[in-house]
Structure 1
Amino acid sequence: MDLLVVPPLTDFTTEVVPPAGMELLDLNERMVARLADPIRLRTAADRLAHGPLTALFGRAAAAILERGGFDDAHLRAVGTALGLAFDPAVRLAIDGLELTEGSVRSSRDVVGAARRCRLILPELSRAGEAAARARRVYVVVDDGCQLPAAFALVGALGPERLTLCGRFVAEHGAALRRVPELAGVALRTWTPERVVRSSWCAREEPVRWVTGTLPPPGDGAWAGRLDAARLAVFPLEAFARCRGLTMMVTRVDFLGAAAGMNGLTVNLRRLMTAIPAGVPVTCELAVGAPGVTAGV
């Protein structure tokens, strides 16, 4: 059987759905759960050398996580836990990852971070055990923040039976092919489906997660984070099945007009009227993108 591996760090409120014939190993879920364990976090907070206020934040986050509710407070507590996790190569946050030396835009810096990273060692060990039983290993890279872990997996498992796939690979495959450390690794544009984790969605039906250039599903509930320009061309019937939406815009004008990531103005009124009442909709302003003036 093939093995589908999700490396950290990516959105932990969603999960990858493996196709038939594939076993899923969600290292992202495992690492987040390990770092956000209340007992571990409380112990770590007591040993922090960053002052009493940081320790207080750690203990408060542990208390919230111990409560077990999946709400905004829980989300912030997980973010605190990730931020307090020390590593010589990376700094974690609720919505991303930074390298302690260099940038994730540099393959050389990412390779260096992958070799020095210690936080992921337990997950690498688990991946090695699972890969030994697999025919082929597929590593899903949907986000650039997963690159250090993905490169570490290549180093630990070897390139011979390993394939990188996912949204980031589909968008940046040409650049990845030029990375010497990925020589021998197969690259595929295939992106497995994601759904919102049931713990974060109070619905019995599965809610598929739509982002990037993915189209809305032909049936069933969905939620997503999408460029307003892409949303403007979605069929109206798709919005009736929307359960939550974040629209990325570069400018919002009067009467529902907004600029998408390409700077072109689109009319959002038609889609807003098609979304059922009560569905949460937010706008994310992309500062510095086309259509944003220097005064923003």
Structure 2
Amino acid sequence: MPSETQAVTTTTTTVSPPGTRTGPAAPVPAPLPARRDGPGLPAPPVDPSGVFQYGFPGPVNDLRSAASLTSAFDRAKRNPHWVAEHITPSSLLMQNGDRRHSIFEEDMSIPEKFRAKLKDYFRSGYDRGHQVPAADAKWSQQAMDSTFALSNMCPQVGDGFNRDYWAHFEDFCRRLTSFYPSVRIVTGPLYLPKRDPDGKWRVSYEVIGHPPNVAVPTHFYKVIFAEDGRTGGNVSLAAFVLPNAVIHNDKPLQEFEVPVEAVERASGLEFASLLPPARRRKLCQEVSCSIIVKEYAERQRTIMTPPPQKGSPPATTLTQR
């Protein structure tokens, strides 16, 4: 009896996953066309993309655009991937926000099961460390308040880091506006490997909360874009990676400078892919990349001085102030 040949037809159902509360719908690959590697060969018998009819697995970055910052959230670690800010001489001179009127709060735009919670930090031994500092958002109370969402926080060592060296580093970034009319900063956590006694490299980090919920970064980075103010003008770049640990104030800041590409490799992010090499300058060759040690109370009283007036001699060091 002659055998019968049955034609097998597969149907691809593509359902666009819905947008999140913090971003547009995730992109869905177009249905695959019937692939024929040669005469008479059928289309593939499977359709892996059909899983999209049940929802898009992710990752979802929970893009947040607030008054003083833009950020993308890492749902797995309950920390931001990155947080971007923009400071100028005029924005830092405005004193319309007061942190005494701001409160730490959970980011309700993030689904509850992925959210960092206030109770996670309670008695954890870590500070709720701002990625965009409140001191950079004094230009309005709304701007100040937006920095206090936990999606702008990471667990940071307090004494010796968040309240000391890291704060001096944030002050360095603000002082850049005395020499550049526009400064953009991207800040975020890293989880870097270290070599164990057996010679193998491993990534290990603590998780705080009961049950464990928020990852404790091993390091933090800042990528700085100091703009000269001209459309299509030069941009002075610098990147720094600091350990989430006590750092003595006599440690030179430039010891933590790394190539931007090193932060990109470690984070899986890209920061300056659209900036042509011809427009790039090295920040630490134009100014002295160094901190000024100030006591906490003094930092709270400090008011930024105006930048040099047009026509004045160019500044060569940040330590002049």
Q: TM-score, length-normalised on structure 1? A: 0.29
- Larger Rg over CA atoms: 2
Q: TM-score, length-normalised on structure 2? A: 0.27
